[in-house]
Amino acid sequence: MLSIIDPNDRNSSGINRRDWLRIGGLNALGLSLASPLLAEGESSITVEQAATFGRAKNVIYLYLGGGPPQHETFDPKPDAPVDLRGPFKPIQTNIPGTQFCELLPRTSRIADKLAVMRGLSTDDNTHSTSAYWMLTGFKYQGPNARELHPSDWPNLGSVVKLLKPSDTVPFSFAWLPEPMVANPGVLVSGQSGGFLGSQADPDRFTCNPHSPEFAIKEFSLPGDISPLRLNKRAGLLSQLNDHFATVESKANVENFSRLRQEAYSVLTTGRAREAFDLDKEPEALRDRYGRGKWGQSVLLARRLIESGVRFVHVQWPREPGDLSSNRPMWDTHADNNNRVKDVLCPQFDVSFTALIEDLEDRGLLDETLVVAVGEFGRTPSFNAAGGRDHWGPVFSGALAGAGISGGQVYGESDKNGAYPLSGKVLPQELCATIFHLLGISHEATMLDRFNRPLRICDGEPLYHLLGSKPATEARQEATGVVTEIPDFRPIYEMKTG
């Protein structure tokens, strides 16, 4: 559902984007931030690393909610005891010496395009607070992370929305296909504009792109309103804005005028509406992404960035009835092995590789950053229910696309996949990397609700993951067996319990 925002909600009054851009010299960058201007602290990076500043025009953030197990994805442990490593074997990727779990056979074939992080860490085993850190770059400091608060730190996409908005469509930060919800059905912090105000919230599209009746109702005019009548109403609202400007604060009127124009543009701009028309895609390509809510949402994300949306967050969807389940999404507290083999890894393996290959075929991979992470990993040991529990000390994630030097693994966990041995990556470093690639200095500042300048990020970019070419030219044939992980499996079939 598209968010239509109240200009007086939360802390939007009195703070506009000009104020945010003013602090920290951001006016010098301009609204598009197209000029590769680096902060003083970045002067020591190499020429090749500097050249990656601003390489990404947009970001697709694939969020594997629940916490995917590192052992069954990017960090198999063949030498660990079987009661730790599980029954699945490692397979060779197309990069010599790099192995993934056999549940990702397609992904193993595109390892040359990936920078895999095996040392991600939050040391936090709580969904809400670990997710908050991953999605904002800052540790949670509020009263209750299982609620949204106006004092929350803004989501990454919210900062991007304000500092580098889209210049082609009326929304810059899209979130789909549903909000981030924790059991038993609560909205958690880290998915809003926080102290930047509601104008920095994502445009949320709660939808099921796999449904035959898929449509975004906000893009349709009521039956009794013609386009001509809508234009007349827009003109009247413009006159009212001029009148209210004489009696209301300038900031409130500017905010309302901008929000009204965004809502009007959504209804009248064909580019925005057409981005959601999946019927324009070939049936074979839709099949390639996977015929389910997740796969079709990933495809929709590609269409959105193609239309000009700057940042798209794709939330791993809940399954019917799983708000009381002990294994929702990637949160496999029970029956881990069957869940990852039959439901979770097949969807990810199919859609992730489809996205990377599709972006490359369209010439978009060099300008699109793809991020695939969760809030944490899973325990190296199994519990009595055959599940793996929350584990923040070490987990894995992957980057691909604009400015990423593929074909490499950064970081190493110990022999049991329990703790990082080298290359520990904190959430703020990942966030700084995303900002850097988008052409936003990680040392930039913005104003909080008390007009205090705050840095948008408290970490340094992961420069060793950046470059204009793969980290190695060596290749080999990947050994994964694709037929073991089918192209399609009913996504919402789930045993209760």
Query: Mind listing the pLDDT tens digit for each residue in 7-18?
Result: 333 333 333 444
User: How far, rounded to the nearest angstrom, does the alpha carbon of residue 69 sit from its chain's CA centroid?
Assistant: 18
Note whether 292 and 349 are within 8 A (CB).
no
Does the predicted model carry a pTM greater than 0.75? yes
The pLDDT tens digits of the residues spanning 275-312 come to 999 999 999 999 999 999 999 999 999 999 999 999 99
Query: Is-contact 24 453, C-beta < 8 A?
Result: yes
What CATH number is attached to the domain comprising 428?
3.40.720.10
Place of tokens 């990933």: 298
Which of these ranges, 8-17, 49-58, 268-277, 381-390, has the smallest mean pLDDT? 8-17
Is 4 within the bounds of a domain?
A: no
Instruction: State the pairing for strand pair 173-176/203-204.
Output: parallel
Across the range 396-415, mean pLDDT stands at 98
Residue type (1 letter), 251: A
Residue 165: inside a domain: yes
Judge whether 212 lies within some domain.
yes
Instruction: State the burial class of residue 196 (Cβ atoms within 10 Å of its Cβ: 0-12, 13-18, 19+).
Output: buried
369 occurs within a structural domain: yes
Q: Does residue 86 belong to any structural domain of this protein?
A: yes
Q: Is residue 131 part of a domain?
A: yes
Mean pLDDT of 454-472: 95
pLDDT at 215: 82
**Residue 303 structural domain:** 17-216+276-484
Q: For the chain, how many structural domains are there in total? A: 1
182 inside domain: yes
